[in-house]
Structure 1
């Protein structure tokens, strides 16, 4: 609610002249009881008090104004000031912390700015006094849901002012205000004003030339009056924000990112109430903090109804080499490294219990001092000290299946739930996670640790074990198995969308699930055939099954499963084949019979409502692929092709977009019914994408297919030259966007 000045009690430090007295005067005029503080000048305090009492006697004789002496640079004096205020007035609703101190020096002469006593006094008056006053008044302001307003200075924003000490400590005060705003929210609103040159007795002895110079620098060409700043302080105490209609707050919040809303909520209790925290997804993993937050949201009678998606983070932390050969190689390398490393460092690490695999998995392994880090970087000892308890916690969760039980509970609590995502990609690239889960948000800045690779990934030494029949190997996809089983067991859920991720880290669901029927396959089919199921994004880890001529695709089980989704609107199939410049790496370009038979996977006639179709990293027959696109339903509105390779080296992307223009009937359709086309490809001048980065082209393709634009692949089949509309993006940094 809006702060009511009537019968309220406000303490104003340094309140006997200038800005402080102006604020006190306005407070009395608004019906507040006022306590003005002074340091030593009792005569000036008596005059100020007489002035305030004259106003109150004419406006409301019941109003009370008093003056209390206290040196607010001393903590004990501040505590006495607050105590005497509450004893005299009975309460405390707001504080205007207006005290400050400076001594003039030549700002541009360093020798004139190294007086230790000046620095100590500036810090005591401009920083510590405000901190201690806020602390002393906290319990009273919390009861009142009140406000704490400081007077800082523009010198804290821009290096300037009476001295370097003054400028630096005023900057510290501004940062203090931001810190206190976070700590005291939502009960107490903390703010600071930072005025510039003001017309007070303080500038009376200034040369006229200096005053004129200050006036000329302002946009309004006038010196700020103390009343101007006092009005802003009154506004911050009163807060007119609640007077805005809630509908306006709702409209504003829809335009803001979730982090912006969070930042606004901690500024004051008013915005915390007006902008309720809104999020639509929750995270679950083998981590106690993630489970704790998940359960807290599930038990919240407001938040639980907002959740539409559960993300199962299956990126379990790395616990060391699995294979015997890997452990042997690790031991040999550790012995070699210990021979060349400084003995004391090796002993310290061994004493800390840090295993060698943790050292080799870090970004800074073998750094000789040449590595550049994007921000703070935590050393190996500190990183392991933080990582080890996470491992212990993960083991406890896995042993108890606490994450599974929480997930099942969430299915019964989240009334708006429609999507489940299972992914091993949560941690993304070091310091650039795909998702900022509570666990990852709690990481200390610069934590350097082995990026989790819980699911097998491309070029993994264990890919030869990818037969679906190995129980230990199947168990790697723990999240997929547990989640799909839970979804089958709890039939009352409203899940209509399923994402099984991993493509972001060159991984995915074991494609061998489609070799033959299995319990996991049966659970997946049960989910896909539910009425209303509309969205499937399936990332498949294919290993090197192309060497066996795609048994997982030839079985027809993938087609049988996906065709069960009669209401499907969005379908994305992604593989992990290494495709570069339109060619499958590891296969000779002229080898025949290795293309996937698309009809063994896709049956477009089964999806009359399909709008979105995406295919990634597969080797196909050119004519069959064009035929597949031609048989897509008229409802299709978006097609994405990511590093698709053609069996014949004679055919490329230039032929594909030409066929899409000339063979398909898409350009004859009404504009609003034409499918938008996006392609992810290589560039002619071989831009290095880096892990998680990719190059897409869409507008140039659309312009060629539907308009008069040139073929972006003209003369280069699988490449896009610079300047033809390609854009480089980053899966783990959505702000990264470079036109090529």
Structure 2
């Protein structure tokens, strides 16, 4: 096609009303919008990129991009989400970064400079973007590269304090506590990786705990997703439950509507580091009577006693629309009996169709990829509400999260668009064409 033939088409697009052009751009990915913007200066002004979230990390390029967006007249008003990633790449020249105590470099000069620069950058960006933003931890829920193995043991064995290990958490909570903003959602999501926020950061008396409380008690704060790195249960040190530190912080969030609480406790395994005599009731952790507008309550990898859980679920406000689960104490519950108790002991089954609670059930078992899970939501709701077949199977002691092939759907936390049948028969296997 000659340039002469292409000119009328370009002129026709430029003449489209702004409203129609905006609708077209809403249906296109940013990669296509970029090409349209390059077609002419006029289209570059009319067709705006869809920048609703900003990715920040120790990478100077990401900080520079975030600053450019914050100073842009139109882009900054569309930002709704800030993704903070604390991960750094291992230096390719050796393992000096893994063993700082043996490094000849100073341990104080560079981190201090970076700390000041990162904090100023984040605070400056938060002031620039006043729309509703949510600060998230570790990964975005989109089709991004899957992370390699994350070593929790290295973090636990490292001589550095937890403040240095969770530098991003300190900055985010400090800035959000000090700056005037309208942030209503805060997410620290580990996406089932064996990591999270060190639980010592939320012990009473720490700066992080004070800032965390200041954020939660702001009027209008509605959503919290908290992933904690708990490791072993040490009764003499693990005071976030025993001394009600977490309870007292959550008590301030009277407008809470969505709460998800995750830990790094092993999924589908009983805990050998805590016995039932040291178990802390859910009522002593979550001030459920304060959350009269709650719509979602989720627990994942959280040790519970089934009797305590059923009592807790019975006290949820009728505004709750979804719940998600769990890991059980040894000898006190499993999924088969839990679903039976929900069906028989709670009034959920007798509610009207629009008032029924949606039960979210994710099974992380034999799957080898991080983020992959079996979704059995439909099967669970069919059992609870329509007297369908029991979806779970008790094949191993203290493990009733197994499901038969054909039950549920395979999904991916890192790629919401990815979905496969939970069927490993030959005709269901994916065959990738060999590249020539």
Matches within 5 A, 1:302-317: 302-317=74-89
Q: 1:623 aligns with which of 307, 319, 337?
A: 307
Following superposition, the deviation at residue 532 of structure 1 comes to 0.8
Asked if 1:545 is matched to 2:228, the reply is: no
Contact 1:498 1:536 in 2 (8 A): yes
Structure 1 residues 660 and 256, CA, compared in 2 at 3 Å: closer, same or farther?
A: farther
- 2:149 and 2:64 map into 1 onto residues whose CA distance is 21
**SS of corresponding position for 1:261:** helix
- 2:174 and 2:30 map into 1 onto residues whose CA distance is 32
- 1:599 and 1:253 map into 2 onto residues whose CA distance is 48
Contact 2:265 2:302 in 1 (8 A): yes
Q: 1:529 aligns with which of 196, 205, 217?
A: 217
- 1:472 and 1:263 map into 2 onto residues whose CA distance is 48
Asked if 1:463 is matched to 2:178, the reply is: no
Name the structure 2 match of 1:15: none
Contact 1:689 1:728 in 2 (8 A): no
- 2:26 and 2:344 map into 1 onto residues whose CA distance is 43
Contact 2:364 2:372 in 1 (8 A): no
Following superposition, the deviation at residue 252 of structure 1 comes to 3.1
- 2:394 and 2:189 map into 1 onto residues whose CA distance is 35
Contact 1:575 1:616 in 2 (8 A): yes
Structure 1 residues 260 and 668, CA, compared in 2 at 3 Å: closer, same or farther?
A: farther
Name the structure 2 match of 1:424: 138
Following superposition, the deviation at residue 255 of structure 1 comes to 3.4
Name the structure 2 match of 1:583: 269
Flag structure 2 segments of 5+ consecutive residues without an equivalent.
99-108, 423-436
Q: 1:479 aligns with which of 147, 165, 168?
A: 168
- 1:571 and 1:234 map into 2 onto residues whose CA distance is 54
Asked if 1:705 is matched to 2:389, the reply is: no
- 2:154 and 2:356 map into 1 onto residues whose CA distance is 44
Following superposition, the deviation at residue 245 of structure 1 comes to 2.8
Name the structure 2 match of 1:318: 90
Higher helix share: 1
- 2:35 and 2:323 map into 1 onto residues whose CA distance is 38
Asked if 1:675 is matched to 2:350, the reply is: no
Asked if 1:723 is matched to 2:409, the reply is: no
Instruction: Kindly provide the CA deviation profile for residues 558-604 of structure 1, in whole angstroms up to 9, marking residues without a partner as x.
Output: 0110111000011011000112xx3236569xx54354421221111
Following superposition, the deviation at residue 285 of structure 1 comes to 2.4
Matches within 5 A, 1:599-614: 599-614=283-298
- 2:90 and 2:113 map into 1 onto residues whose CA distance is 14
**SS of corresponding position for 1:247:** helix
- 1:549 and 1:399 map into 2 onto residues whose CA distance is 31
Instruction: Kindly provide the CA deviation profile for residues 673-729 of structure 1, in whole angstroms up to 9, marking residues without a partner as x.
Output: 22211111256xx4x3322322221111122222242221155532111122x2222
Name the structure 1 match of 2:101: none
Contact 1:610 1:633 in 2 (8 A): yes
- 1:518 and 1:254 map into 2 onto residues whose CA distance is 45
Structure 1 residues 699 and 252, CA, compared in 2 at 3 Å: closer, same or farther?
A: farther
Moved more, 559-568 or 287-296: 287-296
| TM-score, with length taken from structure 2 | 0.83
- 1:705 and 1:259 map into 2 onto residues whose CA distance is 45
The structure number with the bigger radius of gyration is: 1
Q: CA RMSD in A?
A: 3.2
Following superposition, the deviation at residue 311 of structure 1 comes to 2.1
Matches within 5 A, 1:168-207: none
Contact 1:689 1:695 in 2 (8 A): no
- 2:370 and 2:27 map into 1 onto residues whose CA distance is 32
Name the structure 2 match of 1:403: 118
- 2:113 and 2:266 map into 1 onto residues whose CA distance is 33
- 2:229 and 2:7 map into 1 onto residues whose CA distance is 62
- 1:615 and 1:505 map into 2 onto residues whose CA distance is 15
Following superposition, the deviation at residue 299 of structure 1 comes to 0.9
Instruction: Kindly provide the CA deviation profile for residues 131-190 of structure 1, in whole angstroms up to 9, marking residues without a partner as x.
Output: xxxxxxxxxxxxxxxxx46xxxxxxxxxxxxxxxxxxxxxxxxxxxxxxxxxxxxxxxxx
Q: Number of paired residues?
A: 408
Matches within 5 A, 1:195-594: 233=6, 235-236=8-9, 239-266=11-38, 271-318=43-90, 354-355=93-94, 395=110, 398-399=113-114, 401-421=116-136, 423-425=137-139, 432=145, 458=152, 460-463=153-156, 472-490=161-179, 492-545=180-233, 550-579=238-267, 582-584=268-270, 586=272, 592-593=276-277
Name the structure 2 match of 1:656: 338
- 2:93 and 2:7 map into 1 onto residues whose CA distance is 57
- 1:544 and 1:709 map into 2 onto residues whose CA distance is 39
Name the structure 2 match of 1:101: none
Contact 1:250 1:275 in 2 (8 A): yes
- 2:167 and 2:312 map into 1 onto residues whose CA distance is 34
- 2:334 and 2:149 map into 1 onto residues whose CA distance is 36
Structure 1 residues 401 and 550, CA, compared in 2 at 3 Å: closer, same or farther?
A: closer
Following superposition, the deviation at residue 512 of structure 1 comes to 1.9
**SS of corresponding position for 1:720:** coil
